[in-house]
Amino acid sequence: MSCCHYYQFTEHGDTVFSVDISAIKFGPGALQEVGEDARDLGLKRVAVFTDPILAKLPYLQTVSASLLQAGVDAEVYSQARVEPTDKSFQDACRFAVEGKFDGFISLGGGSVIDTCKAANLYSTWPASFETYVNAPLGAGQPVPGALKPHIACPTTSGTGSECTGIAVFDYLEMKVKTGIASRALRPTRAVIDPTCTYTLPANVVAASGFDVLSHAIESYTAMPFSQRNKPASPAVRPMSQGANPYSDLGCEKALELTGRYLVRAVQDANDHQARDQMMFAATLAGIAFGNSGVHIPHGMAYSVAGLVRDFQPAGYPDDEPICPHGMSVIVNAPAAFRFTASACPERHRHGARLLGSDEMDVDDHESGNLLAGQLISMMKATDMPNGIGGVGYEERDIPHLVEGAYAQKRLLQQSPRSIGQDDLAVIYEDAVRYW
C-alpha cells in the first residue's frame, strides 16, 4: 500500500486497516425472504422494530408474513421515533427486555435501525444508559461482547445504518446529538429491498441521497488511516480508521452512481432504475464510511439539525421543526470541501469528476471550487435548501453553530486538514448562501 502516495507509511502511523461488514442480501423482493434469514440464524422469537408511519405501509405485512411462514414468532414495536432521543432509546430498550427475544429485525430508515441497535445492546448487556455513550458525554465503555442477531431492512436509500456500528440520538438533557459506536452494534445481516423506496416523496429521496453522497465524498477525502497513530493494541484500533484502500472502492462507485442517478431518482418516482441504483449506492457508501469515517460536513450537521427553529420541509412529519439529516449535512458540504481541498486536491478533483463534472484541466488550488460547484448544481436540481440560510440560520447564529460542531471532535479529527473553531466559523459563513 505504501506505493499509493495517499497511504504513505509514517514513523508512528498505523500500517494496518481492517474491513468489517454485515452480510448483505440485495434486490427487489429481498424483503419477502427475511423470515428464512431469521430461521437461518436460529431465531425463534424476534422483535420487529419500525415507526408509526411505516407500520401502516405494506412492507411490515411483507415482513410479518415472511416470519409467520418461516415459523418465527414476532412481536412488533412501532414507536421508534424519527430523530431518536435517549428517552426514546430507553423506551425501546424496555420493550426489548420485557419481550425476552432471541433476535431483532428493524424495518425503516436510520432512526429505526439505530433504535433497534440500542435496544439490542442494552437488553443483551444491561447497564446505565451513559455507559456505552461516546465519551466525553458518556462513559464510552466498550461493549462487553457480541449482541443478539439483528437483521436490518432499510426503507430509505440513505443512512447506510444497516452496515455500520453507530447509533445516533439526541441527548435531551445535554441538548446535543451524539451516539454509541462499537463494532458489536453492526447488524448481523442487511436485507436491502430497493422497492421500499418507490413510494418515498421526492424531498425524502433527495435528502437521503445527499447523505449517501456525503458519506462517500467525506470518506474518500478523510485523513488516511496511515496518518493516524498506530494503536497500542489491535483491540483499540478505532472503527473509523480513516480513508483506506478498501473504503475507496465503495466511495468511488457510490460517487459515480449518485452522480448518475440522484437527480433522476428525485425528479421521477417511476424511474425505478434510478431508485434501485441509489439504494445500491447507499449500501456501498455505508460499508465504506462504516470502516473509514466521515468528517467536517457531518460534524457541522449536528448543530445545524440540533438548533433548528422553524424549518419544516415537505415529506416529513409536521408536528415539530426538523432539519432532516441529509439536508443538515449537504448544506455545509460545498463550503467544507473548499476548506479541505488543499490537503488532498487530487481526491477533491476526482470526486467532482465521478459526480459528473466534465471540467478537465483544473489546477490543485481550484479543486475545492470544482467539487463545491458540482454539489451546488445537484442541490439546485433537486430543490435542496440554499445553504444554512435555507434552513433558517443567519450570520448571528454562527457562534452557536460553531460551539455545537466543535464538540464533535471524533468527526473533526478525521478531516484531512486540521480545523479549529475559527475555521468552523469561516466555513459556516461561506455556507450561509450558495446561489
Q: Which residues bind Fe ion (CB under 5 A)?
A: 211
CB of 305 to Fe ion, least distance (A): 11
Nearest of 242, 301, 300 to residue 423 by alpha carbon: 300
Tell me the residue nearest to Fe ion as measured from the CB: 211
Of the two residues 81 and 148, which places its CB atom closer to Fe ion in the complex? Answer: 81
Contacts of range 72-75, beta carbons closer than 8 Å, 24 or more positions apart? 72/35, 72/38, 72/39, 72/43, 72/44, 72/45, 72/46, 73/44, 73/45, 73/46, 74/45, 74/46, 74/47, 74/48, 74/105, 75/45, 75/46, 75/47, 75/48, 75/99, 75/101
Pairing of strands 150-154, 189-192: parallel
Task: Tell me the closest approach of the beta carbon of residue 231 to Fe ion, in angstroms.
Answer: 25
CA-CA-CA-CA torsion sign (298, 299, 305, 306): positive
Least spacing, CB of residue 329 vs Fe ion, in Å? 6
Minimum Å distance from CB 235 to Fe ion? 27
Q: Is 26 left (phi over 0), alpha (psi -120 to 50) or beta?
A: beta
Compare residues 63 and 163 and give the one whose CB is closer to Fe ion: 163
Closest distance to Fe ion from the beta carbon of 158 (Å): 7
Instruction: Name which of 106 and 124 has its Cβ closer to Fe ion.
Output: 106
Q: Please report how close the Cβ of residue 110 comes to Fe ion at its closest, in angstroms.
A: 8
Nearer to Fe ion, 31 or 294 (CB): 294
Q: Cell 442494552, residue?
A: 122
Whichever of 38 and 300 has its CB closer to Fe ion, that residue is 300
Nearer to Fe ion, 72 or 254 (CB): 254
Q: Which of 372, 17, 12, 3 is nearest to 224 (CA)?
A: 17
